[in-house]
């Protein structure tokens, strides 16, 4: 089975802090994705990556950046966390033309 | 551009009753379509997918969905609901213009199952 792991299940940070969310997949998938999930809004794509060192903006990239130095790892960075970035963050990976496999999520609270 | 509309943010059924969750899509190219389930405090799990083969797709946990091009629909059904089916369900569409890689999700439908 595909396994996608995220570094933390719950995270509490303060406004202005730099925040790193890590995601690792173990099935050699080319594609990796970061979403945020908010009640009533569903899942919204922040960034995705087709290959190492490649990144593409999703629907809501403002306030976020990403890094993919190795194929199995995709990091989401909040340069200066704000309270409106309090959310559930979900990482996913996939092969071309296949469904995405999701990690368990990180619930981030910014105080 | 592609989009997904899920009718009903909440659906309530009794245990043993038919489950029907509605999904309509909009896509300018032949789509791939997916249903995911999310249990509380967990990530999303793939239930089933349509990728231009058979229009009736069977998934895990007794769920199935039928792709109807004329109605631009991909409704999810299960003949008999179990208490364990209570969760949030998401429909998603992917198109050739993204290499069938990125997904556009609906806003989700919460399924409530009563005894």
Query: What confidence tens digit (pLDDT) does each residue in B19-30 have?
Result: 999 999 998 777
Count other Cβ atoms within 10 Å, centred on residue B95. 20
Q: Which has the higher per-residue pLDDT, A7 or B30?
A: A7
pLDDT of residue B102: 84
Using CB atoms within 10 A of its CB, is residue B69 exposed (0-12), middle (13-18) or buried (19+)?
exposed
In this structure, what token pair is assigned to residue B94?
């992917």
pLDDT of B98 over the 80 cut: no
Using CB atoms within 10 A of its CB, is residue A95 exposed (0-12), middle (13-18) or buried (19+)?
middle
For an interface test with A, give the residue of B1, B103, B110 to mutate (most A CBs within 10 A).
B103
pLDDT of residue B99: 62
Q: Which residues of B29-48 are buried (b: 16+ CB within 10 A; e: fewer)?
A: eebbbbbbbbeeeebbebbb
Report the mean per-residue pLDDT for chain A.
93
Beta-bridge partner residues of A44: A36
Distance CA A90, CA B43 (A): 7
pLDDT tens-digit readout, B48-71? 999 877 889 999 999 999 999 999
Q: Which residues of A50-74 are buried (b: 16+ CB within 10 A; e: fewer)?
A: eeeeebeebeeeeebebbbeeebeb
B59 interfaces chain A, CB cutoff of 8 Å: no
A31 interfaces chain B, CB cutoff of 8 Å: yes
pLDDT of residue B97: 60
Q: Check if the beta carbon of residue B106 is closer than 8 Å to that of residue B6.
A: yes
Question: Smallest Cα–Cα separation from B44: which of B103, B97, B98, B112?
Answer: B103
Q: Check if the beta carbon of residue A76 is closer than 8 Å to that of residue A89.
A: yes
Question: Smallest Cα–Cα separation from A76: which of A57, A95, A94?
Answer: A57
Residue B96: pLDDT band with limits 50, 70, 90: low
Distance CA A51, CA A29 (A): 9
Distance CA B69, CA B21 (A): 17
CA distance A43 to chain B (A): 6
pLDDT of residue B30: 77
pLDDT of A1 over the 70 cut: no
| Cβ pairs A/B, distance under 8 A | 51
pLDDT of residue B51: 85
How big is chain B by its Cα radius of gyration, in Å? Answer: 14
In this structure, what token pair is assigned to residue A46?
């922040």
pLDDT tens-digit readout, A34-72? 999 998 888 999 999 998 989 999 989 999 999 999 999
pLDDT of A2 over the 70 cut: no
Report A:81-100 residues touching B (Cβ under 8 A): 90, 92, 94, 96-100
Using CB atoms within 10 A of its CB, is residue A89 exposed (0-12), middle (13-18) or buried (19+)?
buried
């Amino acid at each position: 089975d595909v396994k996608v792991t995220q570094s933390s299940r719950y995270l509490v940070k303060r406004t202005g802090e730099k925040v790193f969310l890590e995601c690792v997949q173990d099935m050699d998938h080319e594609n990796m994705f970061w979403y945020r999930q908010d009640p009533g809004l569903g899942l919204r794509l922040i960034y995705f990556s087709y290959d190492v060192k490649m990144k593409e903006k999703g629907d809501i990239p403002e306030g976020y950046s990403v890094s993919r130095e190795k194929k199995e790892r995709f990091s989401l960075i909040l340069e200066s966390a704000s309270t409106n970035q309090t959310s559930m963050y979900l990482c996913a990976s996939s092969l071309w033309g296949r469904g995405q496999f999701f990690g368990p999520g990180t619930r981030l609270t910014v105080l | 551009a592609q989009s997904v509309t899920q009718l009903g943010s909440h659906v309530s059924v009794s245990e043993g009753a038919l489950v029907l969750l509605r999904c309509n899509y909009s896509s300018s190219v032949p789509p791939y379509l997916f249903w995911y389930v999310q249990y509380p405090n967990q990530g999303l799990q793939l239930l089933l997918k349509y990728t231009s083969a058979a229009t009736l797709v069977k998934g895990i946990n007794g769920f199935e969905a039928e792709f109807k091009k004329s109605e631009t629909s991909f409704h999810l059904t299960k003949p008999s609901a179990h208490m364990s089916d209570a969760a949030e369900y998401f429909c998603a569409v992917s198109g050739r213009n993204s290499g069938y890689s990125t997904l556009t999700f609906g806003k989700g439908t919460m399924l409530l199952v009563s005894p």
